[in-house]
Amino acid sequence: MALDTPDGDVLRVLIVDDHRVVRAGLVAFLGTEEGIEVVGDAADGRAALEQIAVLEGQGMLPDVVLMDLRMPRLDGVGATREVKSRWPAVEVVVVTSFTETETVRAALEAGASGYLLKDAAAEEVAAAVRAAAAGQMHLDPAIAKALTTSLRTPRSAADELTTREREVLVLVATGVTNREIGRRLGVAERTARTHVSNILGKLGLSSRTQAALWAVREGLVEEST
């Protein structure tokens, strides 16, 4: 049974992977993590969508989906896109063995808020779940470094941002949540969320992760080491 987090919330997680051993391992580990509850697992993207719909009807919509990429019926990219379209509040963290830049970009463009490799330490998986649920990004360091030069957004797009939006973008790039952005800038959390949405729209991006990488590439913030 999952234990409550300090604020009383339990993070619900759905695990999606076509390898039974991988699913079992993640279920076993996350089941021991304080404040995290595994509410189900699925062997492919189509089964994941069906299960999320059922969980929604039970009032148990997952907070985070751990998503493999290469699966039968519906792969992880397609499933991620469907999840974010149908359940925008559900965050997706990719857990895969594939490091090709195009594959990573496809997952992020589909709406994934994190990208881990399957050799990640168990603690890193838990950290990624908590980060995603808090509206933060969590990328494997090697993946993040490769992507800083692979995302292509016209530089002229920066001219569309207001001074306040630039301030918000810098905070997003440092992994700050909407609530913390609001606190630091003296605005409501809802206002901070609106700023983030406007930034993504103006830059033609689809996730906070992409916005953070864009900010690094444009020199608005330094790349973390």
**Euclidean distance between CA atoms 178 and 7, whole angstroms:** 17
Token digits for 135?
């509206």
The reply to whether 25 and 133 lie within a common domain is: yes
Low-confidence ranges of the chain (pLDDT < 70): 1-8, 148-159, 222-225
Q: What is the dihedral of CA 49, 55, 61, 66, to 10 degrees?
A: -50
**Euclidean distance between CA atoms 25 and 27, whole angstroms:** 5
Token digits for 10?
């339990």
Residue 163 CB contacts under 8 Å (≥ 6 apart), including other chains: none
Domain membership flag for residue 224: no
Range of the domain at 170: 155-217
Provide the pLDDT for residue 89: 93
The reply to whether 94 and 55 lie within a common domain is: yes
Report the number of distinct structural domains present in the chain: 2
Domain membership flag for residue 93: yes
CATH code assigned at 198:
1.10.10.10
The reply to whether 114 and 163 lie within a common domain is: no
The reply to whether 77 and 100 lie within a common domain is: yes
Q: What pLDDT, in 10s, does the model give residues 116-159?
A: 998 888 888 999 999 999 988 888 887 877 776 555 544 456 66
The domain boundary, picked from 127, 147, 167, lies at 147
User: For the chain, percent helix, then strand, then coil, each to nearest 5?
Assistant: 50, 15, 35
Domain membership flag for residue 114: yes
**Euclidean distance between CA atoms 49 and 81, whole angstroms:** 11
What amino acid occupies position 162?
Answer: T
The domain boundary, picked from 147, 179, 204, lies at 147
CATH code assigned at 80:
3.40.50.2300
Say if CB 197 and CB 214 are below 8 A apart. Answer: no
The reply to whether 20 and 131 lie within a common domain is: yes
The reply to whether 170 and 96 lie within a common domain is: no
Enter the pTM of the model. Answer: 0.65
